[in-house]
Amino acid sequence: MNARSALGKYGETLAARRLAEAGMTVLERNWRCGRTGEIDIVARHGDVLVVCEVKTRRGGDFEHPMAAVTPEKAQRLRVLAACWTQAHGGAPPGGVRIDLVGVLLPRRGAPVVEHVRGVA
């Protein structure tokens, strides 16, 4: 595993923990849909399915993790959410929500984990 994938995996672990602390149940991590792409985390929050994109950045000169979801990325997440629901028997009664968890790893101190609901 290279440093970049290790960083991403660490960020996803922190994100999954944050979602669980918020009362969500993590159903899957790194779910792939052919060539369409991958959902970082699929979770359930009550009767809502949550498709969660995780962006992890080291502190410094890089863009903030929350700036990484472009309109094109948001559209791809909607397509992936549709793929997941189709493969798993349809959308739940509460529908589907797309969230973003940004993980910022400063040079010193604890990671900063931000969770934004309904980004796309």
Here the CATH number for the domain that contains residue 91 is 3.40.1350.10
CA nearest 54: which of 24, 86, 30? 30
Query: Per-residue pLDDT tens for 18-42?
Result: 999 999 999 999 999 988 899 999 9
Confidence of residue 60 (pLDDT cuts 50, 70, 90): low
H or E stretch covering 85: helix 71-87
Report d(CA 58, CA 111) in Å as an integer: 9
Which DSSP letter does residue 34 get?
T
Residue 64 predicted with pLDDT over 80: no
Tokens of 106: 């400063």
Which DSSP letter does residue 14 get?
H
Domains held by the chain: number: 1
Domain with 111, as residue range(s), is 3-116
pLDDT of residue 107: 85
